[in-house]
Amino acid sequence: MTVSKVFVLAAAVATVGLSGCAPILIGGAAVTSATVITDRRTTGSIVDDEVLEKRVRYEIGEVIGHEKHHVVVTSYEGKVLLTGEVLTAADRQKAQDTAVKSVGVHSVINELAVMTPATVGAVLSDSMLATKVRSSIIGTKKISLNQMKVDVQRGIVYLMGIVTIDEARTATKVAAGVSGVQQVVTCFTIESEAAIKERLKNLESNNSSKSAEP
């Protein structure tokens, strides 16, 4: 099992830049109250990420073609992950450049593969595998699915979110243990327990203030 890690400190995503995944070998925009309680982003950030994903995907399609490629855009607090397949290295670079220039994007992780786009059957298989990974995460007490996003392409699992180092390790281990997973790539933003507690405190305070408004 191969696990690639991109543990990005919160301060490192303040400006637009490019992040990479260094491999190491080891053994809709609807937001519900339940999501807000466990999600470590603000309600505004959650909605912004949903909008950003759609806009960047459209902008990339306008540049390299909507029908010729299979590009998936995942955003978490403005950190954008590009996955899927494009036909040429030039298209891969164009997709990256387009994402970097898009409004609201703070950093880009380009995991696009240069190869024939995935078939409908392959996409369906990845979707089913993603469901299995999410179910496994839900069944783990130490982590919550609402703390992260899961994307699967060609059997490769990509994890994004705001977590502690221990939570990152747990999520990685859980994903790697799911049958059918070929590789796990972690693109987490790592924060200390104290920083996350402060995040949640501020979120709770903001939600309480909004609830008190007439």
- Domain ranges for the chain: 41-192
Q: Which residues contact 42 (CB under 8 A, 6 or more apart)?
A: 203, 206
Span 16-23, mean pLDDT?
A: 46
pTM for the predicted model, two decimal places: 0.82
Span 23-34, mean pLDDT?
A: 39
Query: Is the pLDDT assigned to residue 4 strictly greater than 70?
Result: no
**pLDDT at res. 204:** 85
First to last CA, the chain: 54
CB 86 within 8 A of CB 66: no
Q: Is 111 exposed, middle or buried (0-12, 13-18, 19+ CB in 10 A)?
A: buried
CA-nearest of 115, 112, 146 to 33 is 146
Query: What is the CATH topology of the domain spanning 41-192?
Result: Histidine-containing Protein; Chain: A; (3.30.1340)
**What is the rounded distance in angstroms from the CA atom of residue 16 to the CA atom of residue 102?**
10
User: One-letter amino acid identity for 24?
Assistant: I
Span 160-177, mean pLDDT?
A: 96
Span 106-135, mean pLDDT?
A: 98
**Is pLDDT larger for residue 32 or for residue 203?**
203
Digit-coded pLDDT (tens) for 76-114: 999 999 999 999 999 999 999 999 999 999 999 999 999
Q: How confident is the model at residue 140 (pLDDT cuts 50, 70, 90)?
A: very high
Query: Is the pLDDT assigned to residue 34 strictly greater than 60?
Result: no
**pLDDT at res. 25:** 34
**What is the rounded distance in angstroms from the CA atom of residue 152 to the CA atom of residue 70?**
13
Buried/exposed code over 142-179 (b: 16+ C-beta within 10 A; e: otherwise): ebbbbbbbbbbbbebbbbbbbbbeebbbbbbebbbebe
Pull the structure tokens for residue 149: 């996003």
Query: Is the pLDDT assigned to residue 206 strictly greater than 90?
Result: no
User: What average pLDDT is seen over the chain?
Assistant: 86
